[in-house]
Amino acid sequence: MSVNSLGEQGESTYKLTKITSLWLLIIFIFCSAWAHRYTIKTTKYRADIEFGKRNGCRPPAFVLSYKWPFGLDVVRRGFKAGRQGKLLALFGWYFGQLGPTVELTILGGTGFATMDPENVETLLSTGFDDFHLGRRNSAMKAMIGDGIFTQDGPAWKHSRELLRRNFVRMQYQNLEGFREHTENMIKALQDSAGIVDLQPFFYRLTLDTTIAMILGQSVESFRHELGDLFSRSFDRASSVTAQRLRLGDVYWAYVPKGCEVTSVLGDDKDITRAHIQRMPYLHIVLKETLRLYPPVPLNTRFCKHVTVLPRGGGPDGLSPMLVREGMPVAYSVYHMQRREDLYGPDAASFRPERWEGSELVDIKWAYLPFNGGPRMCLGKDFGLMLASYGIARVIQTFPNLKLPPGEKWEDLGAERQHLTIVLSNADGCKVLLE
């Protein structure tokens, strides 16, 4: 063997040894990083379990089972129900089959869904600092920007204080700010006549009134075609206001209780707070509608650090339950407000009279149409006043308002629903105006 051959062989061996050493170093670094991460996660998991034991936590009583890997069958069923407008009905079926607080593992991630008032109170009030909005900021920022609906911490507090001043000021003024926009809606309804879908009209009313209050100038959606395009994208809780005019075959608002609206107002179009305060039946109608159709039916919080929910653990689901850092907890106001053990055997029925007397005096956290705790909706008074004002004027103008002939009547909750951030009727709210 020549000297050159030996040299080439030695050089090849050196390169191979160098490459092998490099791969061994990479494997060593990878294994060390994995071992370090595994040790940290294991240590944290054990610490979380000990935390749970100290706080009396028990394993979840109700766990959602699935047949396909990663719960893909559950995901498929959910997408199908969503396309049919029956997603909330599907969620209600799950709660009915399992229990008020359910553990679910979907696509490898574990979290909880609850309709238990005690858990909801913890999420929104007593344990407020243990939870945050999670990915909502990045998911919604492109649509609504960096504001009160997507913020946490000091930024949220600052935004809330700025908006609070507007709404507090509105509470002590008369209702003059509603008049122009409501009259624009009434005129548009009069021009339409016949069978009309009220839902887009109330979208526009809410849009015009809200923008005018916050920015000082209305988009006047009833007067401009551009307003029509804008208002169709304004998918808000005003849809529920429209549904109020359809519930109970519409007659609830002026036939019961001595034709309340017409007896209080007569022909007076200058509606004030004093007028609305003299309409107690209208008030409980709004409460009952918001019970059955809360504007935001579902919401989610993410756990900041290991904590406890008071209900959901143990064989009966009444023991505390451990929630680990990063876990999502979805809560359903929609299903909570339809629970028969809270609202009676007729919980699925529209019965405003349940709010009279002391029947629901202790309902507390089981009724949250405007959320609760520090993030309670600032526009509660504004929304209720606008709904009352708008409904009163529609009934005053169209005393013979009724369902169109042949209009299909479905059980409450069985109708097709349009569920985005908020809830609305997928088929609109069609009435006959005469």
Are the CB atoms for 57 and 308 separated by under 8 Å? yes
Are the CB atoms for 411 and 171 separated by under 8 Å? no
Cβ neighbors of 132 (< 8 A, separation 6 or more) are 152, 301, 302, 304
Closest to 238 measured CA to CA, from 213, 282, 208, 203: 203
* CA–CA dist 284, 352 (Å, integer): 5
Is 377 one of the annotated binding-site residues?
yes
C-alpha distances in angstroms, 51 versus 58, 135, 309, 323? 12, 26, 13, 10
* CA–CA dist 161, 148 (Å, integer): 10
CB atoms within 10 A of CB 204: 24
* CA–CA dist 194, 61 (Å, integer): 53
Pure H helices in 245-307:
256-265, 273-277, 280-292
Q: What are 197's strand-pairing partners?
A: 430
Are the CB atoms for 294 and 337 separated by under 8 Å? yes
Detail the residues annotated as belonging to a binding site for heme. 377
Detail the residues annotated as belonging to a binding site. 377
